[in-house]
């Protein structure tokens, strides 16, 4: 089922796609942050793909924002398949994917898409992320297993916090990501083998294989709140699901690095679990313990 305001026909340059599953009030805040870009005078459409939510969040968003297009997927398809469904209905030359637990800063969509247009060969762009208190969050990472696990850390990312201009990266987070529509079609969209986590990494890797660059745009800001949908589904096992998604990526795209990833990740998160246990943080220790088990047992 598709709902939307079809009374206003206008050229569309940008399609924003939000995949929602029980996003609650966060979805309303997310869509509201895009209201200026989606006004009848703008050339941006906003599409919410609702993955069979039970909290009425998509209905509330549609009622609050009549210009919103809502697509009922009929089931919880996960992010990759839900995003692909949204892209099937997108009319824009650029598709911007936004998590329902993110709020986009004024002008951020234009800045993200503008950087994509200005940099030769760029096909994918990721925005800068901060938490609700304004503290920096990572929005890009490396492909290599060792580099990702060792350098994509708090200390390893310190230099990137000082960046203000767009720069080339291996991959960007799907939290706030722009993709040229023609490139997205050429790649066949996100790989549906990923339910949640790893699909953004995979998309950027396949783009790089055909010569399309991925860039990070720190000035295009989005406030990223708690991972509501993932936390509802996985609880304290969310971190383990992230590692499972990355293992799936290495198994599908870089199988020669699977053993290295398992070994280094197990050491890294095992150390974190041990340190947490020593200082009495039993919940954190249990969370990292699940990650370690995933490193050894999850299929690649």
Residue 8 has pLDDT above 80, yes or no: no
The percent of the chain in helix, strand and coil, each rounded to the nearest 5, is 45, 20, 35
* Span 233-268, pLDDT tens digits: 666 788 999 999 999 999 999 999 999 999 999 999
Do the strands 69-72 and 2-3 form a parallel or antiparallel pair, or are they unpaired? antiparallel
Q: What percent of the chain has pLDDT over 70?
A: 92
Homologous superfamily (CATH) for 2-226: Spore Coat Polysaccharide Biosynthesis Protein SpsA; Chain A (3.90.550.10)
Predicted pLDDT at 6: 43
* Span 173-211, pLDDT tens digits: 999 999 999 999 999 999 999 999 999 999 999 999 999
* Span 84-119, pLDDT tens digits: 999 999 999 999 999 999 999 999 999 999 999 999
pTM score of the predicted model: 0.93
Residue 5 has pLDDT above 70, yes or no: no
d(C-alpha 161, C-alpha 81), whole Å = 32
Confidence of residue 38 (pLDDT cuts 50, 70, 90): confident
d(C-alpha 244, C-alpha 242), whole Å = 5
Please report, for the chain, the start and end positions of each structural domain, with discontinuous segments joined by +: 2-226, 232-297
Confidence of residue 297 (pLDDT cuts 50, 70, 90): very high
Predicted pLDDT at 43: 85
Residue 230 has pLDDT above 70, yes or no: no
d(C-alpha 203, C-alpha 30), whole Å = 24
């Amino acid at each position: 089922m598709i709902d939307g305001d079809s009374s206003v026909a206008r050229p569309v340059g940008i399609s924003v796609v939000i995949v929602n599953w029980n996003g609650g009030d966060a979805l309303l805040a997310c869509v509201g942050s895009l209201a200026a870009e989606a006004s009848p005078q703008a050339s941006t459409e906003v599409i919410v793909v609702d993955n069979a939510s039970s909290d009425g969040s998509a209905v509330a968003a549609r009622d609050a924002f009549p210009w919103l297009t809502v697509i009922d997927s009929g089931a919880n398809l996960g992010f990759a398949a839900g995003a692909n469904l949204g892209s099937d209905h997108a009319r824009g030359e650029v598709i911007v994917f936004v998590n329902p637990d993110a709020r986009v800063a004024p002008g951020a969509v234009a800045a993200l898409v503008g950087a994509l247009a200005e940099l030769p060969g760029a096909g994918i762009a990721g925005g800068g992320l901060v938490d609700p208190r304004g503290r920096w969050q990572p929005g890009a990472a490396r492909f290599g297993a060792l580099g990702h696990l060792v350098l994509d850390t708090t200390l390893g990312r310190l230099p990137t916090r000082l960046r203000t201009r767009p720069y080339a990266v291996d991959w960007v987070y799907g939290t706030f990501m722009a993709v040229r529509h023609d490139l997205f079609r050429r790649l066949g969209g996100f790989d549906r083998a990923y339910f949640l986590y790893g699909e953004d990494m995979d998309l950027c890797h396949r783009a790089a294989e055909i010569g399309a660059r991925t860039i990070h745009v720190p000035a295009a800001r989005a406030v990223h709140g708690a991972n509501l949908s993932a936390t509802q589904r996985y609880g304290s096992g969310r971190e383990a699901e992230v590692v499972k998604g990355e293992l799936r990526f290495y198994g599908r795209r870089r199988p020669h690095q699977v053993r290295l990833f398992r070994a280094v990740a197990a050491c890294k998160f095992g150390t974190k679990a041990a340190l947490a246990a020593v200082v009495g943080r039993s919940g954190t220790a249990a969370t990292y313990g699940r990650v370690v088990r995933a490193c050894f047992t999850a299929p690649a």
